[in-house]
Structure 1
Amino acid sequence: MRQLTLISGVDDTHTLDALFVNAPLRDYSMRPRTNDYTLPVLGMAYIATYAQRCGFNVGVLDAEAHGLGIEETAQIVNQAAPRWAGMNLLAPTYEMSARIAAHLDPEIALMVGGHHAKAMPDRILADPRMRNLRGLVLGEGELRVAALLGDEKRRRELPSVLWRDPISGTRAGGIASSQTSAQMLAPNINTLPYVNRAFLPQDPYRPAPTVTDRRLAASGRAAWLRDAVLNGAGYVEANIVGSRGCPYDCGFCGAAVSANPDLKIRVRSPENIIGELDQLNDDYGVTAFRFVDDLFLGVRNVIKQHMKVFAGHGIGERYVWDATGRINVLDRLSDADLDVLVGNGLREVALGIESGSDRILHAMDKRINAEMTERVARRLVAHGIGVKGYFILGYPGEEREDLDATVRHVRNLWDIADQHPGEIRASVFEFRPYPGTPVWKTLVDAGHKPDELLAYGDVDLTQDGADESMRQRDEFNFSVGIQFGGVPLEDLRATLATLTREQHERSQGGQEDAA
């Protein structure tokens, strides 16, 4: 019974139609996870919510959030005995997913989706561990998953649903009319139901206040935030998606437009977004939100349209929010535009800065340079908007001087933050290749074998996990163990650990100063 309580959102008084499983990044029966929080599986929750709205009894088992091992995860699924098990396949977790699938009861039908399923469908269909696989769903799955739950035979009329023919052994796929295909592959995101948070075991949640929170509270910008942070009351935060798709083609990214030619880029209407914000506030008391889609602040005209409606509803007076942003787009915003974002509650922007080397940025097709990044970051923090910058070390072709330029870039950005009210946080990662991305083809063409590029393993940068600065990064420290540039992996990882520790010290010092 303890195990079954780990299933979120299910009605345990009725037969379970589907159990959607988020595989762990590693087998936690071998080493317990050290981080306390992981991002919620919003895509899976969207599918579960839509299926539930269609009348099906479904649940979500987030094995990563619960820190489960392979055998325990499979045991929970088998004990729950759903008609279907569904998995979102990602390159770093594919082996974990396949091992779980191999342990499932043969009576449980399996459906899969996710970026890895889209990038390597034939490889997955041929995997003997996926013997129960009856539907591989390419792209956005809400409508087609619900159709499969209603009648498996419908898969023949569902676009971009694949399976392996049991007689010929060849790949088979559904065929639908062009009108049906458009509706199935790109549902109207303004008509989808808001995510049922019962499917998410860690969202909404109460975060520890950040340096940005403390600076905002001290500035008096939001009275409720001052009370929540400075007086120790705390606040409730939730993750949200405001758009789907990305118009850019960054070489390392699974959301790159060249990797998703079938994906129509869509943005939710501001009224639809505000409806979800208010519902989360009414139901859970949420006052802080994180837009975690690929690029929420990515189109200037859309930003202006959304902010006009946000202002009309007084969003900035009631909530704060963080969002993903694009540096070259933000560079074209005026100071008045930034003032509007501040007035509407923008707390922090997550930026894909990636490198301090213009040569590497060009190789990534980022369409930015280090000078532009520093200019944008300075303007944001001068307005009191925090910046979370993501950086990649070890990109193919990176040499020592490129790595050194990135280290200088990070420290320059910290110096900029020290002179302004906004904070800049650096989040640093080792490069990892993902199938389907632009750089994947480049690597394979250069002679790298796909099996080697897919050999993800976790990396301990902490001396047995004891370093507090690394504790919350447990789910991010993994690698394929290949040196793609001119810097040895040992040196690369030492640089990553150094920057992460320096960021941790800055964050801890900022909290002590504001306390």
Structure 2
Amino acid sequence: MPQLPLLSGADPARSLDALFVNAPLRDYSRRPRTNDYTLPVLGMAYIATYAQKAGFNVGVLDAEAHGLGIVETAELVNAARPRWAAMNLLAPTYEMSARIAARLAPDIALMVGGHHAKAMPDRILADPRMANLRALVLGEGELRVAALLEDEQRRRELPGVLWRDRLLGTRAAGVPTGRPDPRMLGPDINALPYVNRAFLPQDPYRAAPTETDRRVAVSRGTDLLRTAAHSGHVEANIVGSRGCPYNCTFCGAAVSANPDLSIRVRAPENIIGELDQLHDEHGVTAFRFVDDLFLGVSRVIEDQMDAFTRHRIGERYVWDATGRINVLNRLDDRELDRLVQNGLREVALGIESGSDRILKAMDKRIDAEMTERVTRRLVEHGIGVKGYFILGFPGESHDDLAATVRHIRTLWAIADSNPGDVRASVFEFRPYPGTPIWTTLTDAGHHPDALLAYGDVDLTGEGADESMRQRDEFNFSVGIQFGDVPLREVRSILATLTREQHQRNQSAQGAAA
């Protein structure tokens, strides 16, 4: 295999069995990316790690992380000459993936998976740009990808693997012989190897100190956090579970969109083993749990915190996690204190709206008063909150949107008088196939082609260019007004809120300096 510096994790002395390709969100040869960090492709890295442990030579080409264009990405794949090129298909990047696939050498077999492959398999199988597609893997892929790398003909016996019959032009699917192995569709996540970070070009990474770091350092006063407030941490992303029991209508992880997915949580000792390995090998002292359940189920919180206390995690590390507002609402002060003592720095919350009417339409199982109460209690304990908000949701009125703006500013005001910070991350609504809201929209007459027409959004006209620097990858839209508020007004408010958050960040950095 030739020396290709942008390929991660592969052995250059051996021929390449598979190259896992994460397509860029846009063609960066046309407009260079402005942000300099993207989330790592942990799911892809899990599959690559498992295949590597099975003896295959595999690599990852993260075109989004490297800011590559379509032609450059395809040329790198062709130069690497893998037996298989494997892509994770997501709705916003599907067009980029298909255009890359169309440029691949005909002797490179194509394998795909991901949320979009699961939601629209027949559409993908029929796409002429996917002419060399030999396996579409539905759901979790570790064991089935390794089996396909061993022998392509095994696809005939693997559950949840589809392809296009070239002679008949029809969908073909694997038919397991005998009793199917349940691990093929849902592997034991405690038996999977820890992710080989060589596959992730941007993880671990050194993060700049945040306002949360500064406030936590002041409020808790430990040596570790005082140092972090000035120098930043080496950070890594981690997954503590798979699956979600909730059914938020806009989310690809909604339980109704994934009836085949069993919900599993990693054993606390398994998680702590990975934390310690990342510290020993990479010097990591801060972790971000990116799954839905780490602070989303009371029993899970209790089990994990028991183990964190035993291993004195809070004395050695800090960590962030996603959380469920309705679950955190049930925790008492003692339980919140325990989270702090065990190193919790910030919780990412899907707040989404300040309108109870819209929250009900989203099936969030929360209301604005609950969000305010939970946020206040978290920041009083010195725990930062990163709140996600959606503007322009179907059926949203001017009053609903105004309620969200007021809500965000109320939460900022609460943070201003407490040790924990509040960061607002605001997005324009866009639909994803396979979600409950997708079905609602198509039933109402929206054509799938229109709902899939993701395009860039330029907010610089609203004065948000610098404030959007770290959010460049999130500025896309299908250009449809789904609520009562015109898109131009939605985007103006989005830019205003983002600029205000940026100004808050800058003020905090100035105060820390």
Normalised TM-score (structure 2): 0.98
- Offset at 1:154? 0.3
- Offset at 1:218? 2.0
2:155 matches 1:155: yes
2:185 alignment partner AA: L
Unaligned runs of 5+ in 2: none
**Aligned 8 A contact 2:462 2:492 in 1:** no
- Offset at 1:220? 3.7
Superposed, which structure 2 residues align to 1:34-53 within 5 Å? 34-53=34-53
- Offset at 1:228? 2.9
Counterpart Cα distance in 2 of 1:295 and 1:437 = 19
- Offset at 1:487? 0.3
Superposed, which structure 2 residues align to 1:8-407 within 5 Å? 8-176=8-176, 179-230=179-230, 233-407=231-405
Counterpart Cα distance in 2 of 1:440 and 1:144 = 29
Counterpart Cα distance in 1 of 2:303 and 2:4 = 45
Superposed, which structure 2 residues align to 1:343-492 within 5 Å? 343-463=341-461, 467-492=465-490
Listed one character per residue, the Cα deviations across residues 263-313 of structure 1 (whole Å, up to 9, x for unaligned) are: 000000000000000000000000000001133211101101110011000
SS of the residue corresponding to residue 400 of structure 2 reads helix
**Aligned 8 A contact 2:462 2:496 in 1:** no
Counterpart Cα distance in 2 of 1:511 and 1:14 = 47
- Offset at 1:463? 4.3
2:355 alignment partner AA: S
Going from structure 1 to structure 2, the CA distance change for 1:329 and 1:179 (only over 3 Å counts) comes to farther
Going from structure 1 to structure 2, the CA distance change for 1:177 and 1:258 (only over 3 Å counts) comes to farther
2:209 alignment partner AA: P
**Aligned 8 A contact 1:3 1:76 in 2:** no
2:437 alignment partner AA: V
Counterpart Cα distance in 1 of 2:461 and 2:37 = 21
- Offset at 1:465? 9.4
Counterpart Cα distance in 1 of 2:303 and 2:464 = 47
SS of the residue corresponding to residue 239 of structure 1 reads strand
Counterpart Cα distance in 1 of 2:361 and 2:476 = 23
2:288 alignment partner AA: R
2:125 alignment partner AA: L
2:32 alignment partner AA: P
**Aligned 8 A contact 2:2 2:80 in 1:** no
**Aligned 8 A contact 2:249 2:363 in 1:** yes
Bigger drift between 165-174 and 92-101 goes to 165-174
**Aligned 8 A contact 1:381 1:420 in 2:** yes
**Aligned 8 A contact 1:21 1:60 in 2:** yes
Bigger drift between 234-243 and 367-376 goes to 234-243
**Aligned 8 A contact 1:288 1:320 in 2:** yes
Going from structure 1 to structure 2, the CA distance change for 1:73 and 1:228 (only over 3 Å counts) comes to same
Counterpart Cα distance in 2 of 1:468 and 1:478 = 17
SS of the residue corresponding to residue 225 of structure 1 reads helix
Percent sequence identity is 78
**Aligned 8 A contact 2:243 2:292 in 1:** yes
Aligned length: 513
Which consecutive segments of 4 or more residues in structure 1 shift more than 4 A?
463-466
Going from structure 1 to structure 2, the CA distance change for 1:257 and 1:466 (only over 3 Å counts) comes to closer
1:81 alignment partner AA: R
- Offset at 1:404? 0.1
Listed one character per residue, the Cα deviations across residues 318-366 of structure 1 (whole Å, up to 9, x for unaligned) are: 0000000000000001111101100100000000000000000000000
SS of the residue corresponding to residue 208 of structure 2 reads coil
Going from structure 1 to structure 2, the CA distance change for 1:493 and 1:95 (only over 3 Å counts) comes to same
1:130 alignment partner AA: M
SS of the residue corresponding to residue 475 of structure 1 reads helix
Counterpart Cα distance in 2 of 1:71 and 1:29 = 8
Listed one character per residue, the Cα deviations across residues 64-114 of structure 1 (whole Å, up to 9, x for unaligned) are: 000000000000000000000000000000000000000000000000000
Counterpart Cα distance in 2 of 1:224 and 1:16 = 42
Going from structure 1 to structure 2, the CA distance change for 1:26 and 1:3 (only over 3 Å counts) comes to farther
- Offset at 1:390? 0.1
Counterpart Cα distance in 1 of 2:336 and 2:217 = 19
1:345 alignment partner AA: G
Counterpart Cα distance in 1 of 2:455 and 2:412 = 31
2:37 alignment partner AA: Y
Counterpart Cα distance in 2 of 1:380 and 1:177 = 52
Counterpart Cα distance in 1 of 2:3 and 2:16 = 15
* Match of residue 501 from structure 2: 503
Counterpart Cα distance in 1 of 2:221 and 2:271 = 23
Counterpart Cα distance in 1 of 2:40 and 2:463 = 23
1:240 alignment partner AA: I
How much is the aligned-residue C-alpha RMSD, in angstroms?
Answer: 1.3
**Aligned 8 A contact 2:289 2:319 in 1:** yes
Counterpart Cα distance in 2 of 1:128 and 1:3 = 31
Going from structure 1 to structure 2, the CA distance change for 1:190 and 1:178 (only over 3 Å counts) comes to farther
- Offset at 1:462? 1.9
Counterpart Cα distance in 1 of 2:301 and 2:178 = 32
SS of the residue corresponding to residue 278 of structure 1 reads helix
Counterpart Cα distance in 1 of 2:212 and 2:352 = 21
Counterpart Cα distance in 1 of 2:343 and 2:267 = 18
**Aligned 8 A contact 1:215 1:514 in 2:** no
SS of the residue corresponding to residue 416 of structure 1 reads helix
SS of the residue corresponding to residue 92 of structure 2 reads helix
- Offset at 1:217? 1.6
